[in-house]
Structure 1
Amino acid sequence: MSDIRADVLDGARHPAEQPKLFGHAAAEAFLARSYRSGKGHHAILIEGPEGIGKATLAFRFANHVLSHPEPAQAPETLADPSPDSSVTRQLAAGASHNLLHLTRPVDEKTGKAKSAITVDEVRKAGKFLAQTSGTGNWRIVVIDPADDLNRNAANAILKILEEPPKRALFLVLTHAPGKLLPTIRSRCLPLGLSPLSPDDLAAAMASLGVLPSGPRAGEVIAAAHGSVSQALKLVNYGGFDIVEAFRAIVGGAGEPPRRDVHRLADVLSAKDSEIVFGFFCQQASDFVTEAARAAALAGDIGRADRLAGLSSRLAEKLTVAQAYNLDRKQTVIGLLDDIRASL
């Protein structure tokens, strides 16, 4: 199993180490009841925006199942993982023989996560599920997120989901269920999670010890839209500065100073800037989507159609740039120019 702390944001805990879950009591209750009934589905598709607790819920439920392998004897609720439990310690250390966390592998040459979950990773899941559990316990695969499966990997997962072994459980996470193969969605039980409320987000950030004091706390909560990961990027990765620079460039009157464009592009293309680059791309995508929606509501159908087309083109360009490792600075400059030209 790879290092469970790979790709964990500064200030965050890995979901397997998170002692609390905020804002999803109804989903926890549903999973607990479903499991206890003995009629639970073998594959749960946990849906919702990034950073709202999907992976934490998955690991809490996995802890519950592995701690109570006989459904009829399981409690009616999910408890906070006990630090004294061997199951909790194994999951936190990434050392459980009964759980496989399927996520983007690390490239041995660069030391960075690859752009997709590959078919080789899915083959590991096949071997993992084929093994006979020495304890007769459950075998759980957490796919985190299924959005990162490339085409071959998605087809390989589909074959496993079609004929799952006994006492196997799949917890499939997705930020964008519409992008998954319909055949994968059809073989899973959907469980939708909503963004955290302001109070729940504040509690989650406070539990991590990273909620700013004073008025800045309110700004973070408002700008994060119910996502802990977005809040962490705003607080610990200069997210507010990135948003401010982006909006000044695309929203200002006249041509923006090229030095400002290049300064932002330099920040986003610096070494080890994957997180801030991803944050910027999401902000840019959200900005264009909101602009298209506002234009449609205002009756400016031509502008709305132009911006909707731009949204699709930007997503395609970013996918190609990532797949072929294109120059990130030029990608950012081109994206900014495209947005300004379409506004």
Structure 2
Amino acid sequence: MSGPEDAILDGARPPAETLSLFGHDAALDFLGRAYQSGKSHHAILIEGPEGIGKATLAFRFANHVLAHPDAQSAPDVIAPPDPDSTHFRQVASGASHNLIHLTRPFDEKAGRFKSAITVDEVRRVGRFFGQTSGSDNWRIVIVDTADDLNRNAANAILKMLEEPPKRAMFLVLSHAPGKLLPTIRSRCLPLPLRPLSDPDLEKALKALGFEVSPESRSALFAQAGGSVSEALKLVNYGGLEILNAFESVLSQAPGGQQRQDLIKLAEALSAKGSDTIFAFFADNFIRRIEADARAAALNGDLPAGARMSELSSALKERIDTSVAYNLDRKQIVMNAVESYLFG
């Protein structure tokens, strides 16, 4: 990884630069009407699975507010931003004096993004408000995502949410709002977004220049789960092939061939430059284990449910450790899959 821009998936566009948004008309209508009424909440928690357009929605709304700082004279319809406008160009380039995009910082020494948003990053928000304290403009903070805040950073954000500066707006994104501090959730107005429908997902992919072939359509949409980022990982990073290889390993009888195929899978997931596909596989594997745990519990097999829950927790911990310390992932994959297969 060479810099922060590498956080954007191949084929995707940074949300700040994206003009197209699909599947969230109702949310846009709500935000437009609420803002025009002058009663828009100072902190909005935009919830939903990863890759469905939460950040794009936040930037769309932020551009609307910056383009129409007087709420009562603003249109109640949030139109796509004007790419030629000064505020859009400033927001897209990260040079806006009225908006700060809070994300995990890039570690130049390690050559990768840090695993969390730190309190030092949140202090940037405090300086942002201090430097613009005499301004009558809106000052917008996009927290992307609140799931990435470490405990100190979360507490620092909480203080700002409890005592927001004048004409400050927080757009807080979360893939898993149930895991946030209850006090953060209580200070925000929840705005849940749904995964994209198949037609909207196809439109979003076409806007990025991808045509979905008829032969791959069913498998792609089934695995993507209404997420553009998941679809891109399936198409551009070999995700479909990885999942098919994994299913093949699971379906084989124990023995030499199964182990050989598992080794090939583990090597592919630990190869140089495989960060994105490794994370994709790990997320899918963990979801599968968690689904098995729920199914076992519902069927009354509590020991199996407990074992699957423990395996899920252990795998998450191993993955976090491997990312933090740049450990070899091959053995992590081997051990996790064998634990899943053989207990």
Same fold (TM over 0.5): yes
Structure 2 CA distance for partners of 1:282 and 1:211, relative to 1, 3 Å:
farther
Which secondary structure does the structure 2 equivalent of 1:280 belong to?
helix
Percent identical residues: 60
Distance 2:141 2:287 in 1: 31
Which secondary structure does the structure 2 equivalent of 1:137 belong to?
coil
Distance 1:78 1:270 in 2: 44
Match of 1:89 in 2: 89
Q: CA deviation at 1:55?
A: 0.4
1:131-176 superposed Cα distances (whole Å, 9 cap, x missing partner): 1267521111111111111111111111221211011111110001
Does structure 1 retain, via aligned residues, the 8 Å contact 2:202–2:212? no
Match of 1:106 in 2: 106
Match of 1:36 in 2: 36
Q: Which of 294-303 and 8-17 deviates more?
A: 294-303
Distance 2:103 2:315 in 1: 25
Q: CA deviation at 1:212?
A: 2.7
Could you tell me which runs of 5 or more consecutive residues in structure 1 were left unpaired when the two chains were aligned: none
Distance 1:5 1:36 in 2: 34
Match of 1:325 in 2: 326
Does structure 2 retain, via aligned residues, the 8 Å contact 1:198–1:222? no
Residue 309 (structure 2) pairs with residue 273 (structure 1): no
Match of 2:263 in 1: 262
1:57-94 superposed Cα distances (whole Å, 9 cap, x missing partner): 00000000111111111110110111121111112222
Structure 2 CA distance for partners of 1:239 and 1:134, relative to 1, 3 Å:
same
2:262 maps to amino acid: V
Structure 2 CA distance for partners of 1:4 and 1:138, relative to 1, 3 Å:
farther
Aligned residues: 340
Distance 1:261 1:222 in 2: 24
1:92-149 superposed Cα distances (whole Å, 9 cap, x missing partner): 2222111111101111113321111111111111111111267521111111111111
Does structure 2 retain, via aligned residues, the 8 Å contact 1:292–1:305? yes
Q: Which of 4-13 and 228-237 deviates more?
A: 4-13
Match of 1:157 in 2: 157
Structure 2 CA distance for partners of 1:6 and 1:65, relative to 1, 3 Å:
farther
Does structure 2 retain, via aligned residues, the 8 Å contact 1:44–1:188? yes
Match of 1:294 in 2: 295
Residue 23 (structure 2) pairs with residue 19 (structure 1): no
**TM-score where L is the length of structure 1:** 0.94
Does structure 2 retain, via aligned residues, the 8 Å contact 1:99–1:140? yes
Q: CA deviation at 1:47?
A: 0.5
Match of 2:48 in 1: 48
Distance 1:194 1:25 in 2: 11
Q: Which of 332-341 and 99-108 deviates more?
A: 332-341
Does structure 2 retain, via aligned residues, the 8 Å contact 1:98–1:133? no
Distance 1:51 1:202 in 2: 14
Distance 2:292 2:310 in 1: 12
1:173-216 superposed Cα distances (whole Å, 9 cap, x missing partner): 00011111111111111111111111111111111112332221
Q: CA deviation at 1:330?
A: 2.0
Does structure 1 retain, via aligned residues, the 8 Å contact 2:47–2:191? yes
Q: Which of 216-225 and 252-261 deviates more?
A: 252-261
| Structure 1 segment 126-141 matched on structure 2, within 5 A | 126-132=126-132, 136-141=136-141
**TM-score where L is the length of structure 2:** 0.94
